Chain A
Amino acid sequence: MFWDYVFRFLQGMGVTLELSFCSILLALLAGILLAVMRICPSSPLRFFSWSYVEAMRATPVLALLIMVVWGLPKLGFMYSEFSSSVLALGLYTAAWVSEAIRAGVASVPVGQVEAARSIGMSFGRILHSIVIPQAIRTVIPSLSGIVIVHIKTTSVAAVAGVLEITATSQIINVESAQWLWFLGAAASYLILTVPTGWLFKAIEQKVVFVR
């Protein structure tokens, strides 16, 4: 019986990992898109990106999850609760990612861009050679924080029925009335977030060059 619980628990960890990975991927892609929209010449797109970020900041994750998970089937998209949760969580974190990227771009000293323009570099060239390499220095640490918080935010998917760590430990607790499983759940979140922090530190070393 005990080993059955352990097995289900490990399954829950796998689901959390899958959920986090997919939704972070979505968040990064959408976040980059939003950040680009934020600084592009078209003002409706800028406005859309700004209002999207503000809306996500003003909405609780749980409310968003409920609306997406129960709303999509009503729109005709019969996604599983896993996919809907990935969508909801990814869209939520995309706002934070886009803010981090924007802050990174803004951290590049203005003088650099002015100098680049004065020697005739185009917009794309400036982004590619000047802005992005230096912005990364600020963006990667922020992203690391965002990803770690995101992994913990995936715990709300338990409400949607996704059998990740929190949901599994609650179900096991209902069946066996042993609350030690919650400690195990806390430990497994640590097991997931601490190596993620190390991973980002390693990425930082590789990608960020200190001037």
Chain B
Amino acid sequence: MSENVLLYEQPGPVGLLKNRVYAVVGGAFVLTLLWSVIYRLYQRGQFDHDRWSVFLNTQVWGFLLNGLYATLLVASISGALSFACSVPIALARTSETYLVRKVAEIYISAFRAVPLLLLILFMTVLLPTVGFAWPAMAFLVVALTLHHSALAAEIVRSGIMSLERGQQEAALSIGMTGVQSMCYIVLPQAIRRMMPALIGQLLAIVQDTSLGYIIPYNELLRCSQLISTYAPQSLLQAAFVSTLLYGMISALLMIVQHKVKTRKRSVAK
């Protein structure tokens, strides 16, 4: 935020006063906005006890946490698989063989261009007809992996490209083969550089598991909506609670991402 101080002069006494006024006015504006929304909800009875009472039941929380567990399970499996697949794809994308490179390019373009929801629907409809009678979770994991491995491959590729050529040349000059230089020199550094972006991908995967709502698969969002079938007056409340849970996981991941970013900066390159 240092650019704030630089975009305008260090404020003098009048400037400081003005800033204080801005702060108060700005704060008042934001608070009024929030207050009007909350008050409106209150007026409409959205804070009534009977709407929230379903969440006083520990069994219901157990049900929700089951959904959370399902979400985390899918996210971690897809995350691991996407990452594992992204490295070979990124390598293929930077390969010198024309055919390999083209195939990787097509794979990446194809799975980046198709919306994830469409891919999930498509797989759930198509694959069973050719014999894959898998449980819903499998379709979700496969679709997530296909889509996010393409995205992650792009990230890894940009990491590889960002490394100076000198590294690879030096490795080759001491007698390492291309493969060895990749595995021991280039990839570890590239991946370490791209760690924050890759964690960002994991964050996106966690959020995209919510698309399992459509299949239907009992992940967190769907569980919260099932609760609202049992108690339809709590539809909004259930969605809000599940959003909070998603927010908590995302916050954790964002903290990890921030830590990785700052640790990178402090460690000498």
Contacts and interface: CB of A to CB of B under 8 A. Distances in A.
Nearest to B15: A41
A44 B129 contact: no
B23 A57 contact: no
Highest count of chain B CB atoms <10 Å: which of A54, A63, A158, A182: A63
Contact of B7 (A75, A126, A158, A169): A126
Contact of A62 (B9, B115, B213): B213
Contact of B247 (A41, A55, A110, A155): A55
Given A41-B8, A48-B26, 8 more contacts: A39-B7, A41-B23, A59-B207, A63-B239, A75-B40, A123-B7, A126-B8, A179-B122
Nearest to A170: B121
Given A54-B254, A58-B247, A166-B115, A66 B239 contact: yes
Interface in B184-234: 203, 207-208, 210-211, 213-214, 221, 225
Given A42-B27, A44-B26, A54-B254, A75 B239 contact: no
A26 interface: no
B242 A63 contact: yes
B12 to A, nearest CB: 13
A113 B7 contact: yes
Interface in A144-159: 152-153, 155-156, 158-159
B19 A42 contact: yes
Contact of B27 (A44, A64, A117, A153): A44
A58 B27 contact: no
A185 interface: yes
Given A75-B41, A156-B117, A42 B236 contact: no
Interface residues of A, number: 56
A158 B119 CA distance: 14
Given A70-B239, A156-B211, A159-B213, A179 B126 contact: yes
Interface of B: 1-4, 6-9, 11, 18-19, 22-23, 25-27, 29-30, 37, 40-41, 44, 46, 113-118, 121-122, 125-126, 129, 203, 207-208, 210-211, 213-214, 221, 225, 235-236, 239-240, 242-243, 246-247, 250-251, 254
Highest count of chain A CB atoms <10 Å: which of B37, B115, B210: B115
Contacts of A123: 7-8
A61 B23 CA distance: 32
A105 B6 CA distance: 12
A134 to B, nearest CB: 13
Contact of A45 (B6, B30, B211): B30
A67 interface: yes
A60 to B, nearest CB: 4
A202 interface: no
Nearest to B30: A48
Interface string A73-90: 011100000000000000
A10 interface: no
B207 A61 contact: yes
B23 A62 contact: no
A171 to B, nearest CB: 11
A153 B115 contact: yes
